[in-house]
A and B are shown apart, each in its own frame.
Chain A
Amino acid sequence: MTAEVTPVVEGFFDPSIPALLGSRCTDCATVFFPAEETWCRNPRCTSTTFDSITLSQRGRIWSFTDAQYQPPEPYVSADPYVPFALAAVELEAEGIVVLGQVASGFGVADIAVGDEVELIVEVLYTDDEGDKVVWKWKPIKGADNG
């Protein structure tokens, strides 16, 4: 069986790097994630052209929580359900906070606001077409997490 690995959502991240995919306005340099490719959302900018960019792969936790109860569809849960943590992570260079699940094996007891994390890609679920992968935030071991 030749199952394929595909991102659970198109255009949000490149699993081969791995990195989040965003865009930068060619006029005002504002960054967008998910990528904005039609009109700049800076109210003082009328640009319609954007560069594709990859976002910083490391950031610091703005806040975090977890999902002790199984989220409803269209979330595809493992059976039995395994709770997971989520973190909103501040990317300094982009001036943006990005939400993601926390890497498998890490819970809310393992993280704190301000901790450094890095982007990884993990399987979210597997269906008939193969593995569906998603970006996750992984605590950096040995980082200066105060």
Chain B
Amino acid sequence: MADDKRVAVAGVGMHPWGKWGRNFVEYGVAAARTALADAGIAWEDVDYVAGADTIRNGYPGFIAGATFAQALGWTGARVSSCYAACASGAAAISNARAQILAGLAEVALVVGADTTPKGFFKPVGGERRDDPDWLRFHVLGATNPTYFGLYAQRRKALYGATDEDFAQVKVKNAAHGLSNENARYRKEVTIEEVLASPIVADPLRLLEICATSDGGAAVVLCSMDYAKAHGITNPVTVNAVSTVTPTYPNTVIEMPNFATDSSVSVAVGERTFRSSIAHAAYEEAGIGPEDVSLAEVYDLSSALELDWYEDIGLCGEGEAEQLLRSGATAIGGRIPVNPSGGLSCFGEAIPAQAIAQVCESTWQLRGQATGRQVEGAKVAVTANQGLFGHGSSVILAR
């Protein structure tokens, strides 16, 4: 059909998340080879490579597309490398999808991988007094968990969220990730254990804040025509990729900013930035939250997962705690969230993370998510948000 804006997911692959301490290229290539094997497509048949960049691994990280292409062996494929903070992987998927939909490429490989330092993310080196990301650490000591703490505390004040609710998100995700061989943390935890872990950014505790991880993820995308011609039957399809920016004024304080936009002369819009991300994806796919079978959302903190419930339309504002307590977002519930185990079990490997959400969605929609399968999954939505106005949401279906 002429207005078919879908592309097929031919293959997916990951390198397990962990703290391996090796070169990020290794994880990316391993994930790429796994995805190509899953697709049954030879590397030489890929005509577009989209790399998601890492900013903590020197020059090869800034030109990740070419780095992975060289490591796989130069083939003359066209290439792009892009950085979009936590949305880098989805931005790379968006690039690849656009090339395919424009008829400029038939098969595209999307790869993201990272090697991360221990502890808090800190700004990249050097004294940069004109960089808000450097300044917020220097002037305020505001780490990423500072912002997560602000959001969590506000949920408590506005919606009656409790420390037990936040802990319950961790407990749920830990149970989901138990049998996920790509997850870094595979250990059951209890509410008591979560609540006994030290507070990092009040009210958030150590077990509720995602770690920084090494890992790699890749997807092979192809046109629907290519899939049909090459015997890829009934593939999972990408039906929407949203990479919208905020609208002015953005009145929620976000990393790495010192302040929000001012609402003094321009009226505040209908949607917050986070809720506009998934909204745009739903519009593009022509579906609504009621059509979704599962969601993979960016649980940088346990409390942030609750914000996402509302922002992707699973429930109304202020109703996330109720949805969690009902068991709806656990596997077996009405709308499982983070069946992979989420960032809670993976830790964050920035450029790989949004791609990993697509990998998990694909396995779920194929019925291949052993030990964590959402029965009868037909539609998956992913969502994430990063620094400086980058975010993404991808809708997949089968």
CB distance from A56 to the nearest CB of B (A): 11
The answer to whether residues A96 and B259 also contact, given A44-B266, A65-B202, A72-B122 and a CB cut-off of 8 A, is yes
A69 touches B200 (CB 8 A): yes
Does A73 reach chain B (CB closer than 8 Å)? Answer: yes
Name the contact of B139 in the complex, choosing from A8, A31, A64, A114 (C-beta under 8 A).
A8
Does B102 reach chain A (CB closer than 8 Å)? Answer: no
CB distance from B175 to the nearest CB of A (A): 27
Residue-wise, chain B 163-191 has the 8 Å CB interface mask toward A (1 for contact) of: 00000000000000000000000000000
Residues from chain A with a CB closer than 8 A to the CB of B266 are 28, 30, 42, 44
- A101–B146 Cα distance when bound, in Å, is 11
Closest 3 CB pairs of A and B: A65-B149, A113-B157, A95-B263
- A100–B157 Cα distance when bound, in Å, is 19
Count of inter-chain pairs, beta carbons less than 8 A: 147
- A73–B137 Cα distance when bound, in Å, is 7
A63 touches B151 (CB 8 A): yes
Does A33 reach chain B (CB closer than 8 Å)? Answer: yes
Residues from chain A with a CB closer than 8 A to the CB of B200 are 68-69
Closest to A77 in B: B141
CB distance from A92 to the nearest CB of B (A): 10
Does B70 reach chain A (CB closer than 8 Å)? Answer: no
Name the contact of B143 in the complex, choosing from A12, A25, A67, A77 (C-beta under 8 A).
A67
Does A105 reach chain B (CB closer than 8 Å)? Answer: no
Residues from chain B with a CB closer than 8 A to the CB of A123 are none
Which residues of A line the B interface, CB within 8 A?
8-10, 12, 25, 28-34, 41-44, 62-69, 71-77, 84-86, 88, 93-101, 108, 112-114, 124, 134
Residues from chain A with a CB closer than 8 A to the CB of B134 are 74
CB distance from A71 to the nearest CB of B (A): 4
Closest to A135 in B: B139
The answer to whether residues A101 and B140 also contact, given A68-B199, A88-B253, A112-B157 and a CB cut-off of 8 A, is yes
The answer to whether residues A100 and B122 also contact, given A41-B248, A64-B153 and a CB cut-off of 8 A, is no
- A44–B200 Cα distance when bound, in Å, is 41
The answer to whether residues A33 and B258 also contact, given A65-B149, A72-B143, A113-B154 and a CB cut-off of 8 A, is yes
Residues from chain A with a CB closer than 8 A to the CB of B202 are 64-66, 68, 85, 108
Residues from chain A with a CB closer than 8 A to the CB of B265 are 25, 28-31, 42
- A99–B260 Cα distance when bound, in Å, is 9
Does B127 reach chain A (CB closer than 8 Å)? Answer: yes
Residues from chain B with a CB closer than 8 A to the CB of A72 are 119-120, 122, 137, 143
Residues from chain A with a CB closer than 8 A to the CB of B150 are 62-65, 86, 88
Instruction: Give 11 A-B pairs besides A9-B135, A9-B139, A67-B143 with Cβ atoms closer than 8 angstroms.
Output: A12-B139, A12-B258, A34-B259, A42-B249, A64-B202, A65-B153, A68-B199, A74-B138, A95-B262, A97-B253, A124-B139
- A6–B143 Cα distance when bound, in Å, is 24
Residue-wise, chain B 279-320 has the 8 Å CB interface mask toward A (1 for contact) of: 000000000000000000000000000000000000000000
Interface residues of B in 100-140 (CB under 8 A from A): 119-120, 122-123, 127, 129, 134-140
Residues from chain B with a CB closer than 8 A to the CB of A112 are 157
